[in-house]
Amino acid sequence: MVPSKNRPGGDGLGAGLKRDELTPGTFVTVSESKRIADRSLVDAIWVVVAVNEAGRRSPAGARSATAAPPPLPLVTAGGAGKHTWDSYVGPTGLHANEVPPDSPVTVACKNMSPSGSVYVLLPEYGNRWMLDTDTTDPLNPRLAWC
């Protein structure tokens, strides 16, 4: 197969990243494709989580594409204590005022309930769920979906 001029690591002067620049943790955008009608991928900034190098072994310590994203430190919003739940579906299993206001929390990821509310997973609180709006940065783009 002949390398594409726009493919990472290709021989040409294309607009893509060079092979050594395409590493896990790099933020990238996606160019529009003239062959695919779905352009929704273009409206986002993506982070590389793994690189398939056609059968080459990954470097030692490289994470799998299915690995969980690193936890993100956030701060709870001021006011009263924040409720947590055992499950974001419902939600069920209320633990009232468990998380103090204005306190740092580590958030693993976020998920959307059937009602449309977004909840964040708190590993330090027994993997319970808290509303994302109870943090000072609910729209943080680094906060991954579970």
For residue 132, what pLDDT is reported? 93
pLDDT in tens, 109-140: 899 988 889 999 999 999 999 999 999 888 88
| Contact status, residue 118 vs residue 112, Cβ threshold 8 Å | yes
For residue 9, what pLDDT is reported? 45
- Fill in the DSSP letter of residue 11: S
**Is the pLDDT confidence value at 51 over 50?**
yes
| Contact status, residue 81 vs residue 74, Cβ threshold 8 Å | no
- pTM (predicted TM-score): 0.55
Is the bond into 8 cis (omega within 30 degrees of 0)? no
Q: DSSP secondary structure string, 27-88?
A: EE-----SS-S--GGGGS-EE------TTPPPPTTPPPTTSPPPPEEEEB-SSSPEEEEEET
Distance CA 80, CA 118 (A): 19
| DSSP helix/strand/coil, 130 | strand
**Is the pLDDT confidence value at 7 over 50?**
no
Stretch 81-93: mean pLDDT, rounded?
Answer: 91
Q: What's the chain's average pLDDT?
A: 75
